[in-house]
A = this chain, B = another copy of it.
Amino acid sequence: MKKDTKVNAGILIIGNEILSGRTQDTNTSTLAKWLNSIGVKITEVRIIPDVEKDIINTLNFLRKNNDYVFTTGGIGPTHDDITAQSVAKAFDVDYEIHKEAFKILESYYKPGEFNKGRQKMTWMPKNAELILNPTSGAPGFNIDNVFCLPGVPSILKSMLGGLKNKIVGGEPILSHTISLRTVESEIANSLTKVQNQNKDVEIGSYPFFHSGKLGVSIVIRSENQSKIDICKSQILEFVKEKKIEIVER
């Protein structure tokens, strides 16, 4: 595998409501599934509060160490929405009204309803490119390798389609899952042997509890289908020897 076929990303979840436990983050999972499907591997996720210096420092670290960074949260109209101004500071560029965003929201709202709060959502880092929002008007934005999305999960999801042309992925990461009616400790040694014989394949083992029964899902991940197939056959071999039942999941 050549290095240049690997593309990676960091995710930055911004919001006190996640850190207080009030809100269950689901955007990580949404972004992770989508990015994996287009061949972008997530290196790490950080969840931080709505604090300017934290946003600036974390963003500057992540954008230097990843091909892409995706932020969620903090781009709405209220006082606690400080992502756009913090991103402008991180890039050391002006924070100003984005003319195109202004036009979009001016025509989105009824005459007289485009108030100061709503206008705040058109303030962005200078030269940001818009990420269109088919759900609720207010766009996200992209500057260099950083993509800023809203925190509301349904709105975020609706905006991913518009990002496809902006993100160039690597080879898609393929995966195969084998679910077994067993417990991890029954297969741990055999699985270790398979992993040691296939060091560049990622083999994960995940216990589950479903319909009142315990089981383990083994997930094999690689950019290379034939490598997955080799692991799969080695795993099925010890599964057969141990007379472990394979289950649908």
Contact = CB atoms under 8 A, between A and B. Distances in A.
Interface of A: 13, 16-26, 28-36, 41-50, 54, 76-80, 115-118, 120-121, 152, 154, 173, 175, 184-189, 191-192, 195-196, 202-207, 209, 219, 221
Contacts of A202: 16
Main secondary structure of the interface of A (DSSP, over half): mixed
A82 to B, nearest CB: 12
A205 B49 contact: no
Contacts of A35: 21
Contacts of A195: 79-80
A33 B45 contact: no
A23 B206 contact: yes
B207 A76 contact: yes
Contacts of A205: 76, 78-80
A121 to B, nearest CB: 8
A87 to B, nearest CB: 18
A175 B77 contact: no
A175 B21 CA distance: 12
25 contacts: A18-B45, A20-B173, A20-B221, A21-B35, A22-B175, A22-B206, A23-B29, A24-B26, A25-B25, A25-B28, A44-B46, A44-B48, A45-B45, A46-B46, A47-B47, A76-B205, A79-B196, A79-B203, A79-B205, A80-B195, A80-B205, A116-B189, A117-B185, A120-B188, A152-B209
A189 B120 CA distance: 10
A54 to B, nearest CB: 7
A104 to B, nearest CB: 15
A18 to B, nearest CB: 7
Contacts of A80: 195, 203-205
A187 B24 CA distance: 24
Question: Which of A22, A46, A76 is packed against the most chain B CB atoms within 10 Å?
Answer: A22
Nearest to A173: B20
